[in-house]
Amino acid sequence: MRVLLTGGAGYIGAHTAVALIEAGHDVIIVDDLSGTSAEAVARIETITGAAVPLLVADVRDEAAVAGFVAEHAPVDAVIHLAGLKAVGESMAEPVRYYDVNLGTTIALLKVMDTAGIRSLVFSSSATVYGTPEQLPLTEESPTGIDLANPYGKTKRIIEEILSDAAAADPGLAVVSLRYFNPVGAHTSGLIGEDPNGIPNNLMPFVSRVAIGSLEQVAVFGDDYDTPDGTGLRDYIHVSDLAAGHVAALEHAASGYAVYNLGTGEPVSVLDLIAAFERASGRSIPQVIVARRPGDVAASYADPAKAQRELGWTADLSIDDACRDYWNWQTQNPDGYPRG
């Protein structure tokens, strides 16, 4: 298949591009490069030996995206990863988040309709579950209730839009993938997570402390009802996550389907820090601070549906993820070159 990746130069997108090419598919990418660099696409080409056409554009620019799709026709499927993703930023800029995240999706559906593209895999999030009522989370767990931030709300609304679109068009095959916590990097060290400024997520923050660019890790709360008092999360290696996209694409059938992509193995904040210390061989200073508003004690997946229906499992451990992230960090201490 030839697959259009929106946001394909980003962290998850770059790894998904590699996985698709290695599975025998062709990839074309649309990305506005607001959170990444064209260097990521060059490195995808280095890893795979394949040419990967890149359109630098906002996915909301229907004319530009439609022209790119027509230029590379036929395009068989879309994996939609473009969008804004910082929870804290979404609280400060909710209108921008609704505009970008919903706008890219609606524009993309219009382009797909015009081009006759009938298959879509969407990058959703476990944030749609809100505060878990019961663990582990299954695809039948309640969603859309008590969502703490606009980021999670946009993901939930997009899921509704896609479900309605699939219901209205029996020929449309749509899959929403609810990610848990992506971590790690490609084993080559050529592609990885490259956050602008101070990272929002735990592993890149820990890595910056290990390499010396940040002073210490703030652990938000040690009084949760968990084995060591710190929050439990389901950390999935980004390469496993990428493989999940390939599986979803290759198994997509008419209608709308949802899958959790996680390991099902909860890891605490302190466990992750300890694993990163093992991987880096460095001591990582940490300080316990107050809980953050909106954080839950634990969130982790039941990934059985993806295993059963897609033949997919997460095979890599938190130690694998820390090893690969440290390899990326040491090879690219300043991330991708910008400019």
Q: Which residues are catalytic?
A: 151
Whole-number Å distance between alpha carbons of 112 and 166: 13
Whole-number Å distance between alpha carbons of 72 and 74: 6
CA–chain centroid gap for 47, Å, is: 20
- Cβ-contact 306, 244 below 8 angstroms: yes
Interhelix angle 269-280/202-211, nearest 10 degrees: 40
Instruction: Please give, one letter per residue, the 3-state secondary structure of 235-287.
Output: EEEHHHHHHHHHHHHHHCCCEEEEEEECCCCCEEHHHHHHHHHHHHCCCCCEE
Interhelix angle 11-22/238-251, nearest 10 degrees: 60
* 3-state SS class at 173: strand
Whole-number Å distance between alpha carbons of 319 and 325: 10
Tokens of 86: 């910082």
Tell which residue, 206, 267, 207, 208, has the closest CA to residue 235. 267
